[in-house]
Chains A and B, each alone.
Chain A
Amino acid sequence: MLGAFVRAFRTPDLRNKLLFTLFILTIFRLGSVIPAPGVNSAAIRDQMEQVQAADDAGIYALVNLFSGGALLQLAVFALGIMPYITASIIINLLTVVIPRLETLKKEGQAGQGKITQYTRYLTLALAVLQATSIVAMARTGQLFQGQIRPETYLPDQSILTLVTIVFVMTAGTGIIMWFGELITERGVGNGMSLLIFTQVIAVFPSSIMGLWEEQDTWLFALICVAGLVLITGVVFMEQAQRRIPVQYAKRMVGRRMYGGSSTYIPLKVNQAGIIPVIFASSLLYLPQLAIGLLGEDSSNPVVRFLQEYFVGGTHPVYMATFFFLIVGFAFFYVAITFNPAEVAENMKKYGGFIPGIRPGRPTAEYLDFVLTRLTTPGSLYLGLIALLPMIALGTAGAQQGFPFGGTSILIMVGVGLDTVKQIESHLQQRNYEGFLR
């Protein structure tokens, strides 16, 4: 285990990539602590310790989690990657609806680049929207549920300052987007998910500390053990895959002999990864945003409806919606990323077949059948894990701010495994080269 680390740092190429990634992540964290101009973050922290309840309110907790605590400090990077995630969800959904986007997607790399570019524009548009709503909420004190007087953390409430904050936060989102792309391009792992990972990890120690102070020792130990068990289970489920054997026929091309090997198609139980959970939770964040925009007067029936069912995060309706959204998105995302007909077609082209099944359409049907059967437990598992902290909150009356919340565990394990695998593949590349030369 340690040997692998040493080897990773001895490979100059990989070392540079790792250091670059760490460097970017450090700057990213730094930006999450620097307050936006005109915000007195020391005051916020002071008040927060006295009140404590403000950051635990259901949905905010999740958004705050994604921004690594930066949101409630009104930092430069307060919006985090939330706008980017929302934008890519919207674009992803629109790809199915709008034919032009679909043709672009099928065009290959150039079209994909264009879609990425659209996502980037949309991200900044959303960033302006969210920054404005956050600043508006901060000004009225709604951001902290009226627990903290706005004058304490926003001493200067002139229009100029507020507009400056909106500009700064939007630019911050742009920088975060760029950071993510830089990591993907020159570092290790997927930049965007690594950034989420960092933010989740960043709030982890403080919530553990909070737990340690609030609970008595035995309960604390019990929760820790439960968390470890949960992590083990999640790792197990994330790694689980079904291997469909594929036999390649031998064929002669010129004087060379190709094929004749048997491999497999790995189909993961949870093919979609953490994306459904992120999709669902950011979609359920929308009602909150709507309330922020509509104003909190309770005479408006829409606001009253939303407030009763979708704020707080412990109402059964909310939980059920969350669960079904996750299950639905899991199927949806798997359908987008894995196309059985295409795989079957490719296999047929290169003379491959699944033993016992004809190539072509029957193979596609078989793959579809297996995939659906696999995704069913996979999506249910995702939904259950994501609901776990809410259930714990609702029934056992466990203290809020449960650090082993489903979403954060899924993100930690998923991104962690992914990144380690990428590092490993880099290492293997090196070693194989070394063997062959």
Chain B
Amino acid sequence: MILGLSIFVMFCSVLLILLVLLHKGKGGGLSDLFGGGVTSSLGGSSVVERNLDRLTVATAIVWIVCVVGLGLLLNRGGV
């Protein structure tokens, strides 16, 4: 159980890092490769960007739940 959850948390962490890196950091990141064209800062975010945001938030929620769960499991096991 602990082993599985640990591996899952690691997997989620890596996924999260990749997702964050996919965001463009204030102008011209990797996401420009997918979006194509120049999206001005006034025009809001593109569809790709919005979906990326949603995906990141979802992953982050799963990640934090797993982290807390794992923490509880480990602490109970330790005591």
Contact pick for A155, options B12, B20, B64, B79, CB 8 Å: B79
Contacts of B2 in A (CB 8 A): 160
Which B residues are in CB contact (< 8 Å) with A164?
A: 6, 9-10, 70
A271-289 contact mask (Cβ, 8 Å, vs B): 1 or 0: 0000000000000000000
B20 near A174: Cβ-Cβ < 8 Å: yes
Q: Which of B10, B12, B60, B70 contacts A163 (CB 8 A)?
A: B10
Main secondary structure of the interface of B (DSSP, over half): helix
Let me know if A161 and B6 touch, CB within 8 A: yes
B37 at the binding interface (Cβ < 8 Å)? no
CB of A165 to closest CB in B, whole Å: 10
**A residues within 8 A CB of B12?**
171
Q: Are B6 and A117 in contact (CB under 8 A)?
A: no
Is chain A's interface secondary structure helix, strand, loop, or mixed overall? helix
A-B contact pairs, 28 of them (CB 8 A): A31-B64, A34-B64, A34-B71, A36-B67, A37-B9, A37-B71, A38-B71, A38-B74, A38-B75, A38-B78, A76-B67, A112-B28, A113-B27, A114-B28, A117-B25, A117-B28, A119-B25, A120-B20, A120-B21, A155-B78, A156-B74, A156-B78, A167-B10, A168-B9, A170-B13, A170-B17, A175-B60, A181-B25
B48: CB under 8 A from chain A? no
Contact status A175-B20, CB under 8 Å: yes
Select one of B13, B17, B26 contacting A184, CB under 8 A.
Answer: B26
A178 contacts partner chain B, Cβ-Cβ < 8 Å: yes
A170-B25 Cα distance, complex, nearest whole Å:
18
**A155-B26 contact, Cβ under 8 Å, with A34-B64, A37-B67, A164-B6:** no
* Residues on B with beta carbons closer than 8 Å to the beta carbon of A116: 25-29
B43 within 8 A of A: no
Q: CA of A19 to CA of B53 in the docked complex: distance in angstroms?
A: 18
User: Looking at the complex, which one of A39, A110, A124, A160 makes contact with B6 (CB distance below 8 Å)?
Assistant: A160
Q: Check A37 against B74 for contact (C-beta < 8 Å).
A: yes
Residue from the list B26, B28, B64, B79 in contact with A185, Cβ < 8 A: B26
B68→A34 contact, CB < 8 A: yes
Chain B residues with CB under 8 A of A31: 64
Q: Is the CB of A168 within 8 A of B67?
A: yes
> Which residue from A112, A168, A178 sits with its C-beta under 8 Å from B13?
A168
Is A52 interfacial (CB-CB < 8 Å)? no
B58 part of interface (Cβ distance < 8 Å): no
